[in-house]
Structure 1
């Protein structure tokens, strides 16, 4: 495994980072398959293939998206004053019926990033996410979505 670095412009009102390192499985001398879900980088999902360059200090920097995995990246942040409080675990429990893989950012910021595989009950998941946001449970964002997600 290698650490694959992404650089981006930080979003106003969001985390102040301008890089994110994701684990990746090398495929060729300049391509790798992303092996975990991104918290900050938009437009990439676990399983996507990315081309990279290696700089003088040995860091591998993503420079081109090569192949989509068909997976989506959805991020969920529980509303501190909502029914789930600041519990990332409660977010996992609500989405457990969909069998999603995900990771939590930190206990201070209970952001949960999920990898949503194609065919994972996309319509039902979108309904639950939308209802949860409307009812004040969480905020969610579609960080990397597919046509299947859009049409569900």
Structure 2
């Protein structure tokens, strides 16, 4: 089979990087794959859907409900490498008739820790996610004065503290 026509499913962590190619600014999705599977599908058999994503992050505002939908913003951060570990802001939404999501989305407050799944659409600088699932994550921080909740930053802080003691 022609390798250019092989359909694969890829799971992993991603980051969106802005770069320049031939004097044109473009966005690249940089991904560290954790699972790759060759699918026995033809291109015409693929569903016409957006990218399915799973995110863990914090709400950057309270949820807002209007006549037809619920909207909120989520900041999520994936560690790809030391240069690509910045926070990404996602605009989340679902329609009001998707009542299975309302018990949680109506209670989302600023800085709520959330686990979500949805369909990602890239529209200019907007990362738009139509929610399919959402849940709160219990906050298990034992100390309020921690500077970071990211494991790779905790390790860097610990190393710098150890070096300053020596």
Instruction: Provide TM-score, normalisation by structure 2.
Output: 0.23
Q: Which has the higher contact order (CA 8 A, sep 6+)?
A: 1
Determine which structure has the larger helix proportion and give its number.
1
Instruction: Provide TM-score, normalisation by structure 1.
Output: 0.24
Determine which structure has the larger strand proportion and give its number.
2
Q: Please identify the structure whose Cα radius of gyration is greater.
A: 2
